[in-house]
């Protein structure tokens, strides 16, 4: 029985595997029963996951955003966690605020002095046409209603404002999920979230919200092995493999004139 896709609205979604549906139109895959709650990681992993592994990605995002917003101004970071992107943004001259609904990270960021909202962005009633940019690192995949959040971000951004999204590539992760060879080696190269976006499904969602000038690229990987995905092969192997696979994905991207995004994550920017 076909289901309606929550992003593109097409009645083209079918059961992909037990508990997961997938849209035949835009490629979005989603869990039939969503998972929520504060993430749990191994002791000592938080520094790597939220800070060290993404430090370069945060710096690249802020550098990229200087071009469309040379005056910098108001920045809203969705899923701001412990406030590390907020800290980097403020250091560069942005007036930065965050949205973080996980109590632990939100509390830590508030104690550092950052303005952090602790409810979903679509529930906050933030001022219209106020923010110059919005950033979201692996957040839309965790939401309960991504299209509603995208529409709200469009409303609160200034005309010409930019949204910068880094998201897991659902096509990559769904293709690798459950492969026996990885289980034997103790590898965990893939992860399934509430919503597993393809570049096309994310583009359709942003267009429906009103955004234009939508651009997609492979994202550079996080540094090291923050999630401990290397199994028996270790973190050094993971770091090297991620770098080499990124180079391969970039070669595919340019050879296909930007048509194919095969990286494990991608960057999407769009304008209001």
Q: pLDDT digit string (tens) for 24-55?
A: 889 999 998 887 765 554 445 454 555 566 88
Residue 225's region, left for phi above 0, alpha for psi from -120 to 50, else beta, is beta
Query: What is the Cα 139 distance to its own chain's centre?
Result: 5
Contact of 100 with 112, CB cutoff 8 Å: no
Kindly list the structural domains of the chain, giving each domain's residue range(s) and its CATH number in brackets, ordered by start: 44-271 (3.40.50.150)
β-bridge pairing 157-168 and 265-271: antiparallel
Higher-confidence residue: 145 or 222?
A: 145
**101-160 pLDDT tens trace:** 999 889 999 999 999 999 999 999 999 999 999 999 999 999 999 999 999 999 999 999
CA distances from 115 to 121, 137, 164 (A): 14, 18, 20
């Amino acid at each position: 029985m076909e289901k309606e896709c929550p992003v593109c609205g097409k009645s083209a979604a079918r059961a992909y595997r037990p508990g997961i549906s997938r849209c035949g139109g835009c490629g979005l895959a989603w869990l039939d029963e969503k998972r929520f709650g504060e993430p749990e990681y191994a002791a000592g992993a938080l520094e790597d996951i939220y800070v060290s592994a993404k430090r370069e990605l945060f710096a690249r995002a802020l550098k990229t955003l200087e071009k469309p917003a040379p005056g910098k101004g108001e920045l809203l970071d969705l899923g701001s966690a412990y406030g590390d992107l907020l800290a980097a943004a403020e250091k560069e001259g942005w007036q930065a605020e965050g949205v973080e609904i996980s109590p632990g990270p939100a509390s830590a960021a508030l104690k550092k002095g950052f303005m952090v909202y602790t409810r979903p962005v679509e529930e906050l009633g933030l001022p219209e046409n106020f923010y110059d940019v919005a950033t979201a690192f692996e957040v839309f995949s965790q939401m309960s209603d991504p299209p509603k959040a995208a529409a709200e971000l469009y409303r609160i951004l200034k005309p010409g404002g930019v949204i910068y999204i880094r998201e897991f590539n659902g096509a990559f992760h769904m293709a690798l999920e459950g492969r026996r060879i990885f289980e034997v080696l103790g590898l965990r190269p893939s992860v399934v979230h509430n919503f597993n976006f393809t570049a096309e499904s994310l583009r359709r969602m942003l267009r429906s919200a009103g955004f234009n000038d939508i651009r997609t690229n492979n994202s550079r990987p996080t540094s090291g092995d923050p999630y401990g995905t290397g199994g028996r092969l270790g973190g050094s192997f993971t770091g090297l493999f991620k770098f080499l696979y990124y180079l391969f994905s970039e070669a595919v991207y340019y050879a296909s004139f930007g048509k194919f995004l095969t990286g494990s994550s991608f960057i999407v920017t769009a304008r209001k």
